[in-house]
Structure 1
Amino acid sequence: MKGVLLVNLGSPKSPTAKDVKPYLDEFLMDKYVIDVPFLLRALLVRGIILRKRPEESAHAYAKIWWEDGSPLIVISKRVHEKVKKEVEVPVSLAMRYGQPSIEAGLQELADKGVTEVMLFPLYPQYAMASTLTILVLAEEIRKKKFPHMTFTDVPAFYNKPDYIKVLANSIKKSLIGFDYDHLLFSYHGIPERHIRKTDVTKSHCKIDGTCCVTESAAHAFCYRHQCYETTRLVVEELGIPKDKYSQTFQSRLAGDKWLEPYTDVEINKMPAKGIKKLAVVTPAFVSDCLETLEEIAMRAKEDFQANGGGDFHAVPCLNDDAEWINVLANWINEWAHAEIPVA
């Protein structure tokens, strides 16, 4: 019997330092997030970062927290409930960090007799710190707890035509009535070394301005290429002129070289370039979360206006948009009816 496990990032239980600290510990101690030896990672995370970050992050979470909980969790549950009504196989929901756990999600499917699982990370682009860590942990749990199960991993869907169509439509609808000067595509940042580590060719990814547009097997696992390709396809779908959009990367940690250009740096420069009305879309996420609601819709807006900018519009993520639910359901039903896994 087939079933599906949808997996998103996760969230603290509450916007308090007490609950944020264990969440950050689980997240930052993941070797695929901060990919340094364990002792160094423990020193950085538990000896330095967790001394101040929980209070700071709790304050940020409190600014975006909804009455019924974390926006990311609430939205993910809405997506889960809507998808369940449109598909013919059992569907469970899990988070990589926090609750509900991946083990709990797999147990729910096992209790329903599921032996073939579509493992579905809810990330359009592939990255070590998102997709890979989900796949690795799920496989570890499967071997220990559910050896009778088999997995079908859903590959990155950054360039699937139906995803691009629904993403472009959601942007178009959100921008009705907003005559922007510039549309910024802001993706979550990752260290440059992650790009090189996921290069299956071990030689292609030089991050030199040409490798992402030069055909290579490395692209199947290259976050940077997939981000630029998502932007290219959406821009093509919407017919946006070249001088009306750009792409940046947000949410970096100090001390490492992360993907550039940086969102905050570029936004701060825009008013001086004559950009007074800015729209920002965040296609690395399918659900609104701290990085979209606080970092972009609040802080980036404040910075833009403090530097002379005017109107600022944060385009919502796909969330539980009906067209997106339909796309998810179609992918699942196609897989459920296929004799072989859907690529």
Structure 2
Amino acid sequence: MKGVLLVNLGSPASTSTKDVRKYLDQFLMDERVIDAPYWLRALLVRGIILNTRPKKSAKAYKKIWWDEGSPLIVLSERLHKKVQEKTEIPVALSMRYGDPSMKTGLQELHDQGVTEVLIVPLYPQHAMATTDTILVLAEQLRKEFFPQMTFTDIPAFYHKKEYIKVLAESIKSSLEGKEWDKILFSYHGIPERHVRKSDITKSHCKPNDSVNFECCKTASPAHEFCYKHQCYETTRQVVAYLGIEPHQHFVSFQSRLAGDPWLQPYTDKMLEKYPNEGVKKLAVVTPAFVSDCLETLEEIAMEGKEEFLKAGGEEFHAIPCINDNNEWVDVLVNWIEA
């Protein structure tokens, strides 16, 4: 019997510093998020980061928290409910970090008699810290708790025509009636070394060629797992669909930890410089996420807007993620039932 496990990133259980610390510990101690030896990872995370960041992050979560709970969890639950209503195949929802856990989701499917699980990572682009870590944990759980199950998965869908259509139409709808000078496609950043590590050719990727990104435009087997290429390709297909001119859009990367080179250009730097270049009305879309979360609702829609307006910008449009968009639900159901 077939079943489906939808997997999103996750969220703290509440906005308390204690819960945020617990969540960050699980997240940042993942060897595919901070890919350092355990002793160094523990020193960085538990010796330094968790002594300061949880309090700051808790304040950020409080700014976006809904009455129903974490926006990412609530939106994921809405998506899950709509998908389940449209298919007879059992569908469970889980988070890579926090609750409901992946073990809980798999147990739910197991209890319904499911033996074949289709894992659906809710990330358009492939990355070590997203898709990889989900599939690795799933296999660990299968071996330890669910040996009778078999797993398949839906690979990165950054270039799938049906996904591009949903994303592009949602952007079009969000900007209807609004004036804008440029659209910034802001993707979540990753360390440059993650791009190099994901390069199966070991020679193709040049992580920070942010001017010409020739490696991303040159066909290569490396693109199957290259986050940077997949971000640019998502953008290329969306702007082609919408008929957006080259000078009207740009790609940048948000969120980074100090001390390491991450993918550039950085979103916050672009927001600061745009007004001086004549960009007074800016729209920002975040296609690395399918669900609105801390990075979209606080980092972009609040902090990003403040940075842009402070630098001399006049209008800032934060475009929502596709969340539980009905067309997106239909796409997922079609993939699940294929």
| TM bracket (short chain) | over 0.9
Q: Supply the distance in 2 between the matched residues of 1:295 and 1:20 (Cα, whole angstroms).
A: 17
In structure 1, the residue matched to 2:297 is 293
In structure 1, the residue matched to 2:201 is 201
In structure 1, the residue matched to 2:20 is 20
In structure 2, the residue matched to 1:10 is 10
In the alignment, structure 1 residue 167 sits paired with structure 2 residue 171: no
The partner residue of 1:322 within 316, 323, 326 is 326
- For 1:1-343, what aligned pairs fall within 5 Å after superposition? 1-207=1-207, 208=209, 209-334=213-338
TM-score under structure 2 length normalisation:
0.98
The answer as to whether partners of 1:88 and 1:333 remain within 8 angstroms in 2 is no
Q: Secondary structure at the match of 2:52?
A: helix
Q: Secondary structure at the match of 1:32?
A: coil
Q: Supply the distance in 2 between the matched residues of 1:139 and 1:87 (Cα, whole angstroms).
A: 25
Q: Supply the distance in 2 between the matched residues of 1:190 and 1:214 (Cα, whole angstroms).
A: 21
Q: What percent identity do the matched residue pairs reach?
A: 67
Q: Supply the distance in 1 between the matched residues of 2:148 and 2:66 (Cα, whole angstroms).
A: 39
Q: Secondary structure at the match of 1:61?
A: helix
Q: Which structure 1 residue ranges, 5 or more long, are not aligned?
A: 335-343
Q: CA offsets per residue over residues 31-81 of structure 1, 9 Å max, x none?
A: 000000000000000000000100000000000000000000000000000
Higher alpha-carbon deviation: 200-209 or 251-260? 200-209
The answer as to whether partners of 1:174 and 1:315 remain within 8 angstroms in 2 is yes
Q: Secondary structure at the match of 1:176?
A: coil
Measured after TM superposition, the shift of residue 332 of structure 1 is 0.7
Measured after TM superposition, the shift of residue 4 of structure 1 is 0.1
Q: Supply the distance in 1 between the matched residues of 2:328 and 2:174 (Cα, whole angstroms).
A: 15
Q: Supply the distance in 1 between the matched residues of 2:202 and 2:216 (Cα, whole angstroms).
A: 14
What is the RMSD computed on CA atoms of the aligned residues?
0.6
Q: CA offsets per residue over residues 73-109 of structure 1, 9 Å max, x none?
A: 0000000000001112000000000000000000000
TM-score under structure 1 length normalisation:
0.97
User: Which letter does structure 2 place at the counterpart of 1:268?
Assistant: E
User: Which letter does structure 2 place at the counterpart of 1:301?
Assistant: K
Measured after TM superposition, the shift of residue 265 of structure 1 is 0.3
Q: Supply the distance in 2 between the matched residues of 1:156 and 1:18 (Cα, whole angstroms).
A: 34
Measured after TM superposition, the shift of residue 179 of structure 1 is 1.0
Q: CA offsets per residue over residues 134-170 of structure 1, 9 Å max, x none?
A: 0000100001100010011110000000000010000
Q: Supply the distance in 1 between the matched residues of 2:183 and 2:199 (Cα, whole angstroms).
A: 30
Q: Which structure 2 residue ranges, 5 or more long, are not aligned?
A: none
Q: CA offsets per residue over residues 256-278 of structure 1, 9 Å max, x none?
A: 00000000001100000011110
Q: CA offsets per residue over residues 163-194 of structure 1, 9 Å max, x none?
A: 00010000000000111011000000000000
Q: Supply the distance in 2 between the matched residues of 1:224 and 1:241 (Cα, whole angstroms).
A: 21
